[in-house]
Structure 1
Amino acid sequence: MNSTLIKKTFLLLLLTSCYADISAQSKSILWYKQPAEFFEESLVLGNGKMGATVFGGANSDKIYLNDITLWSGEPVNANMSPEAYKNIPAIREALQNENYKLAEELNKKVQGKNSESYAPLGTLEINNSEKGKAVNYHRELDLSNAISKVSYEMAGIKYTREYFVSAPDKVMIIKLTADQKEALNFDINLKSLLQSNVEVRNNILVLRGSAPIHENAGYNVPQKYLSLKERGTRFTGLVQIKKTDGTITSSRETLTLKDATEAIIFVSVATSFNGFDKNPASEGLDDVSIALGNLNNAYAKAFDKLKESHIADYQKFFNRVNLDLGKTTAPDLPTDERLLRYADGSEDKNLEILYFNYGRYLLISSSRTLGVPANLQGLWNPHLSPPWSSNYTMNINLEENYWLAENTNLSEMHSSLLSFIKNLSVTGKITAKTFYGVDKGWAAAHNSDIWAMTNPVGQFGKEDPMWACWPMAGAWLSTHIWEHYTFSQDLDYLKKEGYPLMKGAAEFCLGWLVPDKNGNLITSPSTSPENQYKLTNGFVGATLYGGTADLAMIRECFDKTIKASKALNIDADFRKKLETALSKLYPYQIGKKGNLQEWYFDWDDNDPKHRHQSHLFGLFPGDHITPLKTPDLAEASKKTLEIKGDETTGWSKGWRINLWARLWDGNRAYKMFRELLRYVDPDGKKTEKPRRGGGTYPNLFDAHPPFQIDGNFGGAAAVAEMLVQSDENEIRLLPALPDAWSEGSVKGICARGGFEIEMSWKDKKIDKFFISSAKGGETTLIFGDEKQEIALKKGEKKSINW
Structure 2
Amino acid sequence: MPKGDSRYSFWILKKTTKFLSYIMITLKYSKLLYLIICFLGNVITPCYSENSLVLKYQHPATNFGEALPIGNGRLGAMVYGDVFKEKLSINDDTFWSGEPKNWNNPKAKDVLPQIRKALGKGEHQLADQLAKQMQGPYNQSYQPLANIDIAFEENGTPTEYVRELDLNRAIAKVSYKIGDVTYKRSYFSSFPNQVIVLRLEADKPGALNFNMGISGKHQRKVFINDNLIEAYGKAPKHVDPNYLNTENPVVYDNLDEGKGMNYTACLQIAETDGKIIPFKDKLQIKNATSTTIYFAARTSFNGFDKSPSVQGANCKKRTYDDLEKLEGITYNALLDTHISDYQTLFNRLDFSLGEEEDNRYIEMYFDSFKKGENNYLPVLAFQMGRYLAISGSRPHSQALNLQGIWNENIRPLWSSNYTVNINTQMNYWPILPTNLFECNEPLLDLIQEVSQTGKETARINYGCNGWVAHHNIDLWRQSAPVGNYEGEPCWANFSGGGTWLTMHLWEHYLYTQDKVFLQERAYPILKGAVEFLVDWLQKDVEGFYVPPYAVSTEANFITPNGYQGSCAKESAEDIALNGELFLNFIATCDTLGIRDALYYKTKDLLQHTRPYWIDPEGKIQEWMEIGLDRPKGYNKNHLSHLIGFHPGRHLIAQNNPDYIQAVKRTLELFEPGPSSGGWNLAWKISFWARMRNAGKSYEFIRRSMERLSPNLLSGGTNFQIDANMGYVAGVCEMLAQSHNLNEQGLMVIELLPALPKEWPSGHIYGLRIRGGFEIDMEWKDAKITKLVIKNDRHQGNPSIEIVMNGKRFVKQIPYQSKTMII
TM-score (norm 1): 0.92
What is the distance in 2 between the residues matched to 1:73 and 1:709? 23
Instruction: Please say if 1:185 is aligned against 2:209.
Output: yes
User: Which one of 694, 698, 701 corresponds to residue 713 of structure 2?
Assistant: 701
> Offset at 1:415?
0.7
The residue correspondences of 1:390-539 to structure 2 (distance < 5 A) are 390-438=416-464, 440-459=465-484, 461-539=485-563
The residue correspondences of 1:286-297 to structure 2 (distance < 5 A) are 286-297=314-325
Give the letter for the 1:34 counterpart: H
Give the letter for the 1:754 counterpart: G
Q: Greater CA deviation, 511-520 or 415-424?
A: 511-520
Instruction: Please say if 1:83 is aligned against 2:110.
Output: no
> Offset at 1:331?
7.3
What is the distance in 2 between the residues matched to 1:468 and 1:123? 34
Task: Give the structure 2 partner of residue 673 of structure 1.
Answer: 701
Q: Greater CA deviation, 32-41 or 228-237?
A: 228-237
> Offset at 1:298?
2.1
> Offset at 1:622?
0.1
What is the distance in 2 between the residues matched to 1:789 and 1:558? 29
For 1:591-620, what per-residue CA distance to the aligned partner results, in whole angstroms no more than 9, with x for missing partners?
Answer: 111111111134231244521111110111
Task: Give the structure 2 partner of residue 72 of structure 1.
Answer: 97
Instruction: Please say if 1:300 is aligned against 2:328.
Output: yes
Instruction: Please say if 1:199 is aligned against 2:223.
Output: yes
User: Which one of 610, 629, 642 corresponds to residue 636 of structure 2?
Assistant: 610
> Offset at 1:785?
4.4
Task: Give the structure 2 partner of residue 591 of structure 1.
Answer: 615
> Offset at 1:636?
0.8
Q: Secondary structure at the match of 2:621?
A: coil
Task: Give the structure 2 partner of residue 279 of structure 1.
Answer: 307
Q: Greater CA deviation, 518-527 or 355-364?
A: 518-527
8 Å contact from structure 2 (residues 64, 716) kept in 1: no
Task: Give the structure 2 partner of residue 720 of structure 1.
Answer: 732
> Offset at 1:705?
7.4
User: Which one of 325, 328, 334 corresponds to residue 361 of structure 2?
Assistant: 334
Give the letter for the 1:758 counterpart: D
What is the distance in 2 between the residues matched to 1:37 and 1:631? 52
> Offset at 1:372?
1.8
What is the distance in 1 between the residues matched to 2:170 and 2:574? 40
> Offset at 1:525?
1.4
8 Å contact from structure 1 (residues 653, 672) kept in 2: yes
User: Which one of 750, 753, 762 corresponds to residue 732 of structure 1?
Assistant: 750
Task: Give the structure 1 partner of residue 147 of structure 2.
Answer: 123
The residue correspondences of 1:646-661 to structure 2 (distance < 5 A) are 646-647=672-673, 648-661=676-689
8 Å contact from structure 1 (residues 549, 598) kept in 2: yes
Task: Give the structure 2 partner of residue 56 of structure 1.
Answer: 81
For 1:747-801, what per-residue CA distance to the aligned partner results, in whole angstroms no more than 9, with x for missing partners?
Answer: 1100111000011111211111101111334122222542332333332111013
For 1:411-449, what per-residue CA distance to the aligned partner results, in whole angstroms no more than 9, with x for missing partners?
Answer: 1111100111110011101111222232x1100000011
What is the distance in 2 between the residues matched to 1:630 and 1:730? 18
> Offset at 1:26?
6.4
**Cα root mean square deviation, aligned:** 2.1
User: Which one of 138, 141, 162 corresponds to residue 114 of structure 1?
Assistant: 138
User: Which one of 564, 571, 589 corresponds to residue 588 of structure 2?
Assistant: 564
Number of positions where the alignment pairs a residue of Structure 1 with one of Structure 2: 762
> Offset at 1:354?
0.5
> Offset at 1:719?
0.8
Q: Greater CA deviation, 311-320 or 222-231?
A: 222-231
The residue correspondences of 1:147-166 to structure 2 (distance < 5 A) are 147-166=171-190
Task: Give the structure 2 partner of residue 787 of structure 1.
Answer: 808
8 Å contact from structure 2 (residues 764, 776) kept in 1: yes
Structure 2 residues without counterparts, runs of 5 or longer: 2-7, 9-46, 742-746
Give the letter for the 1:162 counterpart: S
Task: Give the structure 2 partner of residue 373 of structure 1.
Answer: 399
User: Which one of 650, 653, 663 corresponds to residue 624 of structure 1?
Assistant: 650
8 Å contact from structure 1 (residues 478, 557) kept in 2: yes
User: Which one of 321, 331, 343 corresponds to residue 315 of structure 1?
Assistant: 343
> Offset at 1:696?
1.2
For 1:80-126, what per-residue CA distance to the aligned partner results, in whole angstroms no more than 9, with x for missing partners?
Answer: 32232110000110000000011111110110111111111001111
Task: Give the structure 1 partner of residue 818 of structure 2.
Answer: 797
Q: Greater CA deviation, 514-523 or 760-769?
A: 514-523
8 Å contact from structure 2 (residues 637, 672) kept in 1: no
Instruction: Please say if 1:30 is aligned against 2:55.
Output: yes
Task: Give the structure 2 partner of residue 761 of structure 1.
Answer: 779
Relative to structure 1, the CA distance from residue 474 to residue 629 in structure 2 (aligned partners, 3 Å threshold; closer, same or farther) is same
8 Å contact from structure 1 (residues 626, 663) kept in 2: no
Relative to structure 1, the CA distance from residue 705 to residue 548 in structure 2 (aligned partners, 3 Å threshold; closer, same or farther) is farther
8 Å contact from structure 1 (residues 758, 770) kept in 2: yes
> Offset at 1:340?
4.3
User: Which one of 589, 598, 615 corresponds to residue 574 of structure 1?
Assistant: 598
8 Å contact from structure 1 (residues 129, 185) kept in 2: yes
What is the distance in 2 between the residues matched to 1:785 and 1:717? 24
What is the distance in 2 between the residues matched to 1:654 and 1:705? 19
User: Which one of 661, 666, 672 corresponds to residue 640 of structure 1?
Assistant: 666
Instruction: Please say if 1:358 is aligned against 2:370.
Output: no
> Offset at 1:522?
2.0
> Offset at 1:492?
0.4
For 1:472-494, what per-residue CA distance to the aligned partner results, in whole angstroms no more than 9, with x for missing partners?
Answer: 01110011000000100000011
What is the distance in 2 between the residues matched to 1:122 and 1:712? 25
8 Å contact from structure 2 (residues 241, 411) kept in 1: no
What is the distance in 1 between the residues matched to 2:477 and 2:387? 26
Relative to structure 1, the CA distance from residue 293 to residue 426 in structure 2 (aligned partners, 3 Å threshold; closer, same or farther) is same
Q: Secondary structure at the match of 1:595?
A: coil
Q: Secondary structure at the match of 2:176?
A: strand
What is the distance in 2 between the residues matched to 1:421 and 1:370? 13
Relative to structure 1, the CA distance from residue 245 to residue 25 in structure 2 (aligned partners, 3 Å threshold; closer, same or farther) is closer
What is the distance in 2 between the residues matched to 1:212 and 1:398? 24
What is the distance in 1 between the residues matched to 2:48 and 2:456? 56
Q: Secondary structure at the match of 2:758?
A: helix
What is the distance in 1 between the residues matched to 2:242 and 2:168? 40
What is the distance in 1 between the residues matched to 2:349 and 2:434? 7
For 1:622-661, what per-residue CA distance to the aligned partner results, in whole angstroms no more than 9, with x for missing partners?
Answer: 0133499332111111111111114321011111111111
The residue correspondences of 1:534-549 to structure 2 (distance < 5 A) are 534-549=558-573
8 Å contact from structure 1 (residues 27, 354) kept in 2: no
Give the letter for the 2:622 counterpart: E
8 Å contact from structure 2 (residues 73, 398) kept in 1: no
> Offset at 1:195?
4.5
